[in-house]
Chains A and B, each alone.
Chain A
Amino acid sequence: MTPRHASEPGDGGAPAEGAGPDRAAQAPVAQPDPEVAQARTPEMGRTGVPSEDVDAPLDHRPGVSGVATPGGGWRKADGPSASGREKRKRRGRRGGARDGDPTVGDADFQSYYGRQIVKSAVWKTPDVPLYLFLGGAAGSSAVLGAGAEFTGRPALARAAHLVAGGGAIASVGFLIHDLGRPERFLHMLRVFKPTSPLSVGSYILSPFSTAAGGAAALTLLSGVPAVRRSRGWFPRLVRSAGLRRTASVGAAAFGGPMAAYTAVLLANTATPSWHEPGNQLPFVFTGSALAAGGGLCMAFTPVDQAGPARSAAVVGAAVELAAMHKVEHDHGIVSEPFHIGRAGKLLRAARACTSAGAVGAALVGGRRWGAVASGALLAAGSLLTRFGVFDAGMASSKDPKYVVIPQRERLAARAAADSSPKDA
């Protein structure tokens, strides 16, 4: 016990970064990092803790160590400051964002061997990002289709019905394929739970895909020569504008919710970069849906009928860009995954495509080639946005810092709020 008794009292509270030869010898960088510099300032004393901590009664006891010491200077083993090493490693690995994008400096935080805390979504790529894209494009196309039905734009109505129906049916397929037990997809309709966006979404997707698919099927069938010529009751029913209009109105009624609920689906998780911007993601997704649906409809429609699709696409792209800007910049460290890695690349490409498509649609959307080119760009931008947002969330779940640091800040803010009334 002698060596312990001999140790000076400050040891009890001294962080490992305190002045000591082992620190200097093991730190791979010659420059002392800020933590060390701070620990060496005169006010902190050579123990590296404020003097009042050193004088705390606990530390007067001889041989004080182990579980009894507050803070105690414990660091992850194998080195003076494992978090410091982690930081250096991070800096090399990532390199931060490009092009003046704001990045948050790697703050100090602790974790369990750097392992992730929340689980990443088990949703498959590309199934779910494609579902987000198709569902959005179908939703806004359905609204455009209904508008076109009642304003005498048969070509726009036809294109919109086909985009909406095709997108709806395909998205149902992707969603079922993504289930771990696809044969049990009808279990989704066992209950209705407003606390589960996926349950609410099931009750949006089912009627939407039925109506949109129906409108698309009627549109396709009425073009078949046998149906067009026949006088039987069924061909007449298929040809009737009333039935098609009813279906298109039904699809349009669920079109907005269809495009918006998928944002809540992602946001209502513990995944930091999806949850934090949860109030802005719906606008990103509906804006993106308008851009994609409007873009696709205007690409497949003669320009003289495509005016509404064009304006929807341009406004939608503007909403998408504005809302996405807020998502990417308003949330501190949780916004970081939107700038770095694969998500950062996807979202930069998305921004370029969407901006170019919107400008193109506004300037040259009145010409056939311009409509096709800018429509394709808008759809591509929307697709890339969905993949980028999906990727950013997945990345944020894999790094414990996006969980720990915001929650620490939250605790600190709460502690400050709790203590301030006492001071006042």
Chain B
Amino acid sequence: MSQISSASPAFTGNDPENRLFGPLPDVTGEAGYEPDHPARVGFFTDTSVCIGCKACEVACKEWNTLPMDDADGNRDALGLSGMSYDNTGMLGANSWRHVAFVEQSRSVDLPMPAIGAPAAPGQGVGSAGGCGGSCGSAETPSHANADGVTIDQHSVLNAQALSSFDPQTAQSADREIRWLMSSDVCKHCTHAGCLDVCPTGALFRTEFGTVVVQDDICNGCGYCVPACPYGVIDQRKDDGRVFKCTMCYDRLTDGLQPACATACPTQSIQFGDLDELQARADARLATLTEQGVTTARLYGRDTDDGVGGAGAFFLLLDEPEVYGLPPDPVVTTRDLPSMWRHAAGAAAMLVGVALSGFLGRRR
């Protein structure tokens, strides 16, 4: 662990081993651990089964003894965000899990006699008047069956039912409401911006491939805070140091799972070896896609992405930015070699300009 990682690529940009950017199969070994290090671990957060209970947030706060703060990170303040059921607001020094709560609506054209006892399905189509006979929906099973509701309830586990009885969707007057919930966490990136820019070595790569801050080394320079492309790590103002998710490093060393994954009642947060989780996530995505949930996508799974793949990745049901995640995050260090080269040119320019004034003017 004593050697300095990514020493020359940072200046030259000559980076055949992807030490600054790109896929890195053995990030733990690259950080200097012996080949017999443990497998890289991670989180797979499947938001399609998240119920927004925030057990993960509570478990995290309890285990890591994190102080209370409000939606803007003000310590010991009890504040309501006033925007949704989300009063945690964001990841920060005191919130290492954050359940995003997105409420979305869309308008629905309802037939005029919408209220009353369930009519025969065919009648409803007629009264809508906008179908024009081209939709062909009368041929689908639940339309054809007089008791379509029973059919849907019987098949509650199939895709059709997922859309019809989706517990995260409800109807209200002329609009449909749905809720997206997602437990956000530090991504423990393959190429972690915070780790790259830390000038003290307080941030380090653990033997599990995660990224952790050492409290006794951090001197509160704050450079990691704007360097994180996800806005995860933050400074505790009254303390001066920075804090973020450790993936419960202390629990991992004792063979336990992280607190949040242990507490999650729906297995929305899954902890395990990263390659296993990736396989599981691919299978889950395939299942959902097959069932017609075409908005499902994995976020942070692709090892070709801007951070070389995340150690904590997600299955999302809408665009990442809807959940407050950047759509295409890139580790800032990717562009550092170019910046250093331009800085060298600028420094040479300064010296040249300053000294050229003395030429031929010797007194």
Give chain A's interface residues, CB within 8 Å of chain B. 1-11, 14-16, 18, 20, 22-23, 46, 58-78, 80, 109-113, 115-123, 139-140, 143-144, 147-148, 150-153, 178-182, 184-185, 187-188, 190-199, 201-202, 252, 255-257, 259-261, 263-265, 267-271, 274-275, 278-280, 282-283, 285-286, 289-290, 293-294, 305, 307-312, 315-316, 319, 397, 400, 403-404, 407-408, 410-411
Please state if A71 and B346 are interface contacts (CB–CB under 8 Å): no
A181: contacting residue among B119, B220, B358, CB under 8 A: B220
A14 with B171: CB separation less than 8 A: no
- Asked whether, in the complex, the Cβ of B228 is within 8 Å of the Cβ of A147, the reply is no
Given A143-B355, A195-B5, A290-B353, 13 more A-B residue pairs with CB atoms under 8 Å apart are A1-B142, A3-B111, A63-B164, A77-B105, A113-B83, A181-B218, A187-B218, A195-B10, A261-B343, A268-B332, A268-B336, A270-B228, A404-B321
Contacts of B140 in A (CB 8 A): 60-62
- The one of A15, A256, A270, A282 that contacts B226, using a Cβ cutoff of 8 Å: A270
Q: Is the CB of B121 within 8 A of A5?
A: yes
Contact B350 A260 (CB under 8 A): yes
Interface residue total, chain B, C-beta cutoff 8 A: 136
B220 to chain A: closest residue by CB: A180
The distance from the CB of A313 to the nearest CB of chain B, in whole angstroms, is: 9
Query: Are A22 and B107 in touch, CB under 8 angstroms?
Result: yes
Show 15 A/B contacts (Cβ-Cβ < 8 Å), sorted by A: A1-B118, A5-B121, A5-B143, A6-B121, A9-B137, A62-B142, A67-B163, A68-B295, A74-B318, A110-B319, A151-B362, A196-B196, A290-B354, A311-B353, A404-B326
CB of A257 within 8 A of CB of B230, answer no
- B283-302, CB under 8 A of A: which get 1 and which 0? 00000000111111000000
Q: Is the CB of A115 within 8 A of B163?
A: no
| Cα-based distance from A20 to B168 in the complex (angstroms) | 24
Tell me the B residues contacting A by CB distance below 8 Å.
4-8, 10-11, 20, 48, 81, 83-84, 89-90, 92, 100, 102-111, 114, 118-121, 123-128, 130-131, 135-137, 140, 142-143, 148-149, 152, 159-160, 162-164, 166, 168-169, 171, 174-178, 193, 196-202, 217-223, 225-235, 239-242, 291-296, 317-319, 321-329, 332-333, 335-336, 338-340, 342-351, 353-358, 361-363
For B229, what are the chain A residues with a Cβ–Cβ distance below 8 Å?
Answer: 118, 270
Bound complex: CA A234 to CA B176 (Å) = 86
B106 touching A199, Cβ below 8 Å: no
Assess A307 versus B361: contact at CB under 8 Å? Given A5-B148, A196-B199, A259-B347: yes
A407 contact set on B, CB distance < 8 A: 326-329
Residues in B whose Cβ lies below 8 Å from that of A115: 89-90, 324
**B106 lies within 8 A of A279 (CB):** no
Task: Across the interface, name the chain B residue whose C-beta is closest to A63.
Answer: B164
Question: Shortest 7 CB-CB distances between A and B: which pairs?
Answer: A180-B220, A180-B240, A6-B124, A112-B324, A308-B357, A256-B347, A184-B219
CB distance from B315 to the nearest CB of A (A): 11
Q: A117 and B321: CB pair below 8 A?
A: yes
Residues of A within 8 A of B319 (CB): 110
Contact A194 B107 (CB under 8 A): no
- CB-CB under 8 A for A411 and B327, given A62-B140, A112-B100: yes
Judging by beta carbons under 8 Å apart, are B295 and A400 in contact? Answer: no
**Which has the most chain A C-beta neighbours within 10 Å: B118, B292, B339?**
B339
> B196 to A117, Cβ gap below 8 A?
no
Task: Choose one: B106, B223, B344; the contact of A198 (CB below 8 Å).
Answer: B223
Bound complex: CA of A280 vs CA of B231, how far in Å? Answer: 25
CB distance from A46 to the nearest CB of B (A): 8
A265–B130 CA distance with the chains assembled, in angstroms: 60
A403 to chain B, nearest CB (A): 5
How far is A405 from B228 in the complex, measured between Cα atoms in Å? 18
Residues of B within 8 A of A148 (CB): 358
Chain A residues within an 8 Å CB radius of B225: 119-122
Contact assessment for B110 and A7 in the assembled complex, using a CB-CB cutoff below 8 Å: yes
Given A121-B225, A270-B227: A286 and B160 interface contact (C-beta under 8 Å):
no
The answer to whether B135 touches A198 (Cβ under 8 A) is no
Say whether B326 contacts A118, CB under 8 Å. yes
Task: Collect the chain A residues with CB atoms within 8 Å of residue B202's CB.
Answer: 187
- Establish whether residues B358 and A193, one from each chain, have CB atoms under 8 Å apart when the complex forms: no
Asked if A196 and B230 sit within 8 Å, CB to CB, the answer is no
Q: Is there contact, CB below 8 Å, between B199 and A202?
A: yes
Tell me whether A195 and B20 are in contact in the complex, defined as CB-CB below 8 angstroms, given that A8-B128, A260-B344, A397-B226 are known contacts: yes
Closest chain-A Cβ to B104's Cβ sits at a distance in Å of: 4
Q: A1 to B148, Cβ gap below 8 A? A: yes
Complex contact B321–A109 (CB within 8 A):
yes
Contact B346–A285 (Cβ < 8 Å): yes
In the bound complex, how far is the Cα of B200 from the Cα of A92, in angstroms?
45
- Residues from chain A with a CB closer than 8 A to the CB of B295 are 67-72
Q: A109: which B residues are within 8 A, CB to CB? A: 321
Contacts of B166 in A (CB 8 A): 65-68
Smallest Cβ-Cβ distance to A111: which chain B residue: B321
Beta-carbon nearest neighbor of B138 in chain A: A62
How far is A75 from B318 in the complex, measured between Cα atoms in Å? 11
Q: B323 — nearest CB in chain A belongs to which residue?
A: A112
Residues of A within 8 A of B350 (CB): 139-140, 143, 255-256, 259-260, 286, 289-290, 316
B106–A75 touching, CB < 8 Å: yes
Check if A400 sits within 8 Å of B339, measured CB to CB.
no
Which one of B90, B110, B123, B346 lies within 8 Å of A282 (CB-CB)?
Answer: B346
A104 to B143, CA, bound (A): 50
Distance A72 CA – B295 CA, assembled complex (angstroms)? 9
Tell whether, in the assembled complex, residue A66 and residue B199 are in contact, meaning their CB atoms are under 8 Å apart. Answer: no
Q: Which A residues lie within 8 Å of B227 (CB)? A: 268-270
| Residues A257 and B121 in contact, CB atoms below 8 Å apart | no
Closest partner residue, chain B, to A262 (CB atom): B343
Chain B residues near A294: list those with CB within 8 A.
354
Residues of B contacting A10 in the complex (Cβ-Cβ under 8 angstroms):
130, 135
CA distance A277 to B135 in the complex (A): 52
Given contacts A122-B225, A268-B227, contact A112 B102 (CB under 8 A): yes
Q: Identify which of B118, B135, B296 contacts A9 (C-beta below 8 A).
A: B135
| B163: contacting residue among A64, A73, A261, A411, CB under 8 A | A64
Q: Is the pair B131, A188 in contact by a Cβ cutoff of 8 Å?
A: no
Asked whether, in the complex, the Cβ of A184 is within 8 Å of the Cβ of B220, the reply is yes
- A65: chain B residues at CB < 8 Å are 108, 163-164, 166, 169, 176, 178
Residue with the highest number of chain A CB atoms closer than 10 Å, among B106, B223, B291:
B106
The CA of A220 and the CA of B340, in the complex, are separated in Å by 36
Q: Is the CB of A68 within 8 A of B105?
A: no
Most interface-central of A113, A185, A310, A315 (chain B CB within 10 A): A113
Closest residue of chain A to B91 (Cβ to Cβ) is A119
Question: A255 contacts which chain B residues (CB < 8 A)?
Answer: 350-351, 354
A187 to B214, CA, bound (A): 12
When distances are taken between beta carbons in the complex, the residues of chain B under 8 Å from A188 are 199-200, 219, 221
Chain A residues closer than 8 Å to B103, beta-carbon distance: 76-78
A75 to chain B, nearest CB (A): 6
Partner of B322, one of A18, A110, A153: A110
Contact partner of B177 among A4, A77, A268, CB < 8 A?
A77
> What separation, in Å, do the CA atoms of A308 and B351 have in the docked complex?
12
Q: In the complex, are the beta carbons of A73 and B106 less than 8 A apart? A: yes
